[in-house]
Chain A
Amino acid sequence: MKYSIQVILTILCMAAFLPKLKAEEGEKVKWIYNYQEALEKACQTGQPIFLEFRCAP
């Protein structure tokens, strides 16, 4: 229970963290939720992957 509360608090802190990048770029950030799909997209576009492991959806 304590761990869950800690996780939620961290996520809330981070919620103020990542979207700032989005706002600065003025673009909609679109996340992929499938590992293989991301690899395929990176292969097609030649872009690197920014992978986020997030403990809660």
Chain B
Amino acid sequence: MSQYVLLRITTLDGIDINHFDWDRHNALYFFMLNADEHIYMHYGGRDSRSAMSYLNMESLELALSQGLEQHELYKAGKIEPKLKTGTPIYPRDIPSLKKSVIDKNRCVECHLVQDYAVTEKEANGTLDKLQDMYVHPDIRDLGIELDVPKGLRLAETSGAAKAAGILPGDVITSLNGNGTLTFADFQNRLNKVHRLSREIDLTVSRDGETHEMKVALPDQWWITDLSFRYWTIDPLVFFKAVPLNDAEKEELELPSEGFASRVTEVDINALLEDAHELEEGDIIVSVENVQKDELTQDVIIHIKLKHRAGNSITLGVLREGTLQEMTLKTKRQRFRKRD
């Protein structure tokens, strides 16, 4: 570390958040860059298991070493400078954050920037829930299990990664043509992949050779456990439901591609909020007369993607073999209530 200038930032109010782009629901996050503000790499990141899933002394030492190598290559003109482009964006440029946090002299914590940015987008109608809320998909859903101390070296592969021919011991070096040195680089690049994409290009290094791989993205690869973010994607629906499998649908003579989610749990708040009259075992087969969604067969995810909090929605519900209509009054998550 003595070979670096050490910079610690504890509040984001003077930081160009357009240039420094990362998963802000991390208590700690690192960048390596130079005096020209060329970013060599990200370091940090986490998943739903733990804040420490990808933080490790050995991988940090590896990243520090790689950062120095990148710096030498940059000075030798062997890396094309990626300098700041576009207009800088500061936290004060997010009106609700400025009003609720900066103007009250509260600390501009990283997660507040992300939370208020989403709230702002929702208010002005530009929120894309797929990209803005189902953030930082879990790389394990692609079948990628890293040997964490070794950076982007794979410990195991399964699912989509294995089907693409990626092997344990391979080292991921780029995603869709963008170089990756650390887990955080990879996570950051994966987050930029459009959620409707069906495939990504991965480059791996294997025994000193470079291999280009195409990884087919599984259905709903972007669905992520958001619980550690204390983020719930609006609207709240006050029940849990699980999509039926093909055999169950066939038995009920329901179309295989349509909605059919069985209610497995009713939240007590459904009663308190007078939100709905669903019961465990009910099967939801339509939402506002829509019977299928090419993105998802999960009724709850469909509602979260296509409906705004506060709306009343008509559900088509099978109860004991009889189809009936029921009203669902949706609600907003408390923390996202506007001041």
Q: Mark A14-57, 1 if CB is under 8 A from B, else 0.
A: 10010011100101011111010011111101111111111111
Residues in A neighbouring B121, C-beta threshold 8 A: none
Residues in A neighbouring B111, C-beta threshold 8 A: 3, 55
Decide yes or no whether B32 CB sits under 8 A from chain A: yes
Decide yes or no whether B322 CB sits under 8 A from chain A: no
A25 to B15, CA, bound (A): 30
Decide yes or no whether B7 CB sits under 8 A from chain A: yes
Q: Mark B222-249, 1 if CB is under 8 A from A, else 0.
A: 0000001010000000000000000000
Main secondary structure of the interface of B (DSSP, over half): mixed
Is there an interface contact between A3 and B230, defined as CB atoms closer than 8 Å? Answer: yes
Nearest chain A residue, comparing its CB with the CB of B6: A31
A7 to B112, CA, bound (A): 13
- Pick from A20, A22, A50, A55: contact of B7, CB under 8 Å: A50
Residues in B neighbouring A46, C-beta threshold 8 A: 75
Residues in B neighbouring A45, C-beta threshold 8 A: 5
Is there an interface contact between A48 and B40, defined as CB atoms closer than 8 Å? Answer: yes
Nearest chain B residue, comparing its CB with the CB of A13: B52
**If A33-B9, A41-B5 touch, does A54 touch B35 (CB 8 Å cutoff)?**
no
A55 to B311, CA, bound (A): 35
Nearest CB of chain B from residue A54's CB, rounded to whole Å: 5
Nearest CB of chain A from residue B25's CB, rounded to whole Å: 9
Is there an interface contact between A52 and B9, defined as CB atoms closer than 8 Å? Answer: yes
**If A39-B37, A42-B34 touch, does A54 touch B51 (CB 8 Å cutoff)?**
no
Is there an interface contact between A17 and B6, defined as CB atoms closer than 8 Å? Answer: no
Is there an interface contact between A17 and B8, defined as CB atoms closer than 8 Å? Answer: no
Nearest chain B residue, comparing its CB with the CB of A16: B57
Is there an interface contact between A51 and B32, defined as CB atoms closer than 8 Å? Answer: yes
Is there an interface contact between B33 and A10, defined as CB atoms closer than 8 Å? Answer: no
Nearest CB of chain A from residue B118's CB, rounded to whole Å: 15
Is there an interface contact between A17 and B32, defined as CB atoms closer than 8 Å? Answer: no
**If A22-B1, A55-B109 touch, does A48 touch B28 (CB 8 Å cutoff)?**
no
Segment with Cβ contacts to A, from B63-71, B267-275, B286-294, B295-303: B63-71
Decide yes or no whether B105 CB sits under 8 A from chain A: no
Is there an interface contact between B28 and A38, defined as CB atoms closer than 8 Å? Answer: no
Is there an interface contact between A52 and B4, defined as CB atoms closer than 8 Å? Answer: no
Nearest CB of chain B from residue A9's CB, rounded to whole Å: 7
Is there an interface contact between B64 and A50, defined as CB atoms closer than 8 Å? Answer: yes
Is there an interface contact between B57 and A20, defined as CB atoms closer than 8 Å? Answer: yes
Most buried by B among A7, A40, A45, A48: A48
Q: Give me the interface of A with B, judged by CB distance under 8 Å.
A: 2-3, 6-7, 9-11, 13-14, 17, 20-22, 25, 27, 29-33, 35, 38-43, 45-57
What are 6 contact pairs spanning A and B, CB under 8 A?
A30-B6, A45-B5, A46-B75, A50-B5, A55-B10, A55-B28
The 3 A-B residue pairs whose C-beta atoms are closest, nearest first, are A38-B7, A42-B35, A50-B4
